[in-house]
Copies of this chain bind each other. A is one copy, B any other.
Amino acid sequence: MQSNEDKNLIVAKLDDGENLFESLENIIEKHEIRSGLILSGIGMLRNFVLGYYNGSEYQKKKFADPCELLSLQGSISTEGETVIHLHTSLADEKQNVIGGHLFEAEVCSLNEIVIRKLDDVVLSRRLNPATGLKELQIS
Closest B residue to A75 by beta carbon equals B112
Q: Once bound together, how far apart are the Cα atoms of A42 and B112, in whole Å? A: 19
B residues less than 8 Å from A70 (CB atoms)? 71, 73, 87-89, 99-100
Q: Does A24 contact B (CB under 8 A)?
A: no
Q: Once bound together, how far apart are the Cα atoms of A86 and B71, in whole Å? A: 10
Provided the pairs A4-B139, A39-B40 are in contact, do residues A95 and B85 lie with their beta carbons within 8 angstroms?
A: no
Closest B residue to A139 by beta carbon equals B4
Provided the pairs A4-B138, A137-B13, A139-B4 are in contact, do residues A52 and B92 lie with their beta carbons within 8 angstroms?
A: yes
Q: Once bound together, how far apart are the Cα atoms of A13 and B98, in whole Å? A: 25
Q: Once bound together, how far apart are the Cα atoms of A68 and B100, in whole Å? A: 6
Cross-chain contact of A7 among B61, B72, B92, B120 (Cβ < 8 A): B120
- Judge whether A11 and B135 touch: CB under 8 Å: no
Q: Once bound together, how far apart are the Cα atoms of A34 and B73, in whole Å? A: 24
What are the interface flags for A40-84 relative to B under an 8 Å C-beta threshold, 1 for contact and 0 otherwise? Answer: 111110000011111100010100001011111111000000000
B residues less than 8 Å from A51 (CB atoms)? 68
Q: Does A5 contact B (CB under 8 A)?
A: yes
Can you give 15 A-B contacts (C-beta < 8 A)? A3-B138, A7-B120, A9-B37, A12-B138, A13-B137, A37-B114, A50-B95, A53-B68, A70-B73, A70-B99, A71-B87, A75-B112, A89-B97, A95-B98, A95-B100
